[in-house]
Amino acid sequence: MKKLLLSLALSLGALSATPAMAAAPAFSASQMSQVKIKDLSFKEVMREFYSGEMVSFFIDDETIEAVPHVGLGRVNSDGERTVALMNPVVEYKNNVGEARYLVIIEKVKVDSNTGSLVSCHACKATADIYSFKKLNNGLFQLVSRTPKKVEPTGVSGRIMLDEKSIKNTMQPLGKEITGSVLKNGSFYHGIFVQWWDVLQLPENDFINLYGLGDAGMENGVYDEDSPLYYAYEGTFKVLSENTNTMYYPIMLTYKGEKPTEDYERIEHVNYSKIMKFNPVKKAYE
């Protein structure tokens, strides 16, 4: 079990976006630029991208009712319906200082009988992510989007894409790529596992999420004075010194007490490793 938890810390984020890239169509900036909407309201975004899919649907869930939402499609064989939620718009600047606006449409599952969120620990939500720029005439023009729905890491039926974390960690991730490095985490049988996800926001390619690696762990099963207790923390630094690099490497540093891979020992650690993005595999390695 412990070895499995460490494997989860190393690979959870990598499950998010790679499958979505497999059948992705070719990116076309000219096709993206043809999409223009008058504002970034939930109403306008949903009418532009989900016309013909929206349905009225009974909701009995405070977390869903608190944000803009609408039903999508038909009830599936499990008696669940997809409901689209719109998170707050994130304003950011691209690598040349131009204002951009990030729209995240989260798609959750709701029980068609009770109207409540399907929120088991392993239940997943998906997301469609869009970036826009504002034109001089006041319209918002699409810059890029996810190629199709992606599965960000999440828990209890919701995605882990917090708008504050995205904005606070927004920075250049490559020569022409802005994005965020996000720390996510979850409890597994008393052990707190954390991992890094990278949100890339290119303007000449599709938006996507990629797993970066382990971000730390704490064994909360034991008191801190127990010889079986351990905790270590991961930090990151984007190595942007070479501004001509298409994708900047990211250095991960670990400090604290960490179990060995075979869990035979718990050792004090203080080391770093560099992760590079492989554009062919669409993965950090």
d(CA 10, CA 195) in angstroms, rounded, equals 7
Backbone angle region of 52, left / alpha / beta, with phi > 0 → left and psi within -120 to 50 → alpha: left
DSSP state of 12: G
Nearest of 163, 168, 150 to residue 103 by alpha carbon: 163
How do the pLDDT tens digits run along the chain, 285 residues long? 445 454 544 444 443 444 333 445 789 999 999 999 999 999 999 999 999 999 988 899 898 999 999 999 888 888 899 999 998 999 999 999 999 999 999 999 999 889 899 987 778 788 999 999 999 999 999 999 998 767 777 777 888 888 999 999 999 999 999 999 999 998 888 899 999 999 999 999 999 999 999 999 999 999 999 999 999 999 999 999 877 789 999 999 999 999 999 989 999 999 999 999 999 999 999
Beta strands in 135-265 (DSSP E): 140-145, 154-155, 158-159, 171-174, 177-188, 191-202, 208-219, 231-238, 250-259
102 with 201: CB under 8 angstroms?
yes
| Measured distance CA(9)–CA(184) in Å, rounded | 10
Cα–Cα nearest to 185, from 210, 156, 217: 217
* Residues 263, 112: Cα–Cα separation, whole Å: 45
Beta bridge partners of 90: 102
